[in-house]
Amino acid sequence: MNKQSNTYTILYSAIMVVVVGAVLALTYMALKPKQDENIANDKRMQILSAVHLTAPDGDYRSVYEKYVAETFVVNVSGDRTEGDAFGVNMAAEEKKPAQERLLPVFVCKLDDGQLKYILPVYGAGLWGPIWGYVALNDDANTVYGAYFSHQGETPGLGAEIAKPEFQAQFEGKELFKDGSFRSIDVMKAGQKPADNADYVNAISGGTVTSKGVESMLKSCLTDYSAFLDKLKTK
């Protein structure tokens, strides 16, 4: 075949596309299990961070399996339903009508026997999604710990939600006040909620992201309020 012809050029290009495509597909298939495990390990790290647990050697799977005693899914009525708690995509669930949402619950049993209920939250910051996990004591009301992260908030401003100093403010705060669900507000210094809700200080210069955390907590944790009510009666 004439190597200078258009036919040769087209055929050669087509073969190269097929070969390169096949190599990329094989590479993707070979790396996907490792990529999936890294994503799962990062999720385990975030869940465990809400209850102040770490894995110095990076083996979050072992720590997760040791301390997370039970996982299940509830609906907005507070009843258990079918679903894989670890596999639930909170971003997708937030787009559904409330009655159709799957709400994951992770039950952690600490070394002293205390049970903590870890609930995922998902919302929007200034530049993109924000998310996290809130751990409650077995009174189904008091916050034991919290973990928040973000996709692209401004360093030194909104990105401060990922810092321990901001997250530590939530410890000891209560979701229910005077018998009603209030969530937790995020307020500018010197301000207080009008409805007697517990609150933390907003990030200076990060007002939009701070209010995003507040909205995220109210939106997501309200979905769990019926479950928490039932848990308190037990």
pLDDT tens digits for range 90-124: 999 999 999 999 999 999 999 999 999 999 999 99
Answer yes or no: is 15 within a domain. no
| Sign of the four-CA dihedral 45, 48, 54, 55 | negative
Quote the percentage of the chain above a pLDDT of 90. Answer: 78
Q: What φ, ψ does residue 201 adopt, rounded to 5°?
A: -80, 135
Closest CA to 167 of 147, 143, 144: 147
pLDDT band at residue 2 using 50, 70 and 90 as cut-offs: low
Answer yes or no: is 38 within a domain. no
Answer yes or no: is 28 within a domain. no
pLDDT band at residue 219 using 50, 70 and 90 as cut-offs: very high
Q: Which residue has the higher pLDDT, 11 or 53?
A: 53
Answer yes or no: is 27 within a domain. no
Answer yes or no: is 105 within a domain. yes
Alpha carbon 109 to chain centroid, angstroms:
20
Q: What is the pLDDT of residues 117-153, one digit of tens each?
A: 999 999 999 999 999 999 999 999 999 999 999 999 9
What the block records as the tokens of 226 is 């019926």
Q: How many domains is the chain built from?
A: 1
Domain range for 185 is: 48-233
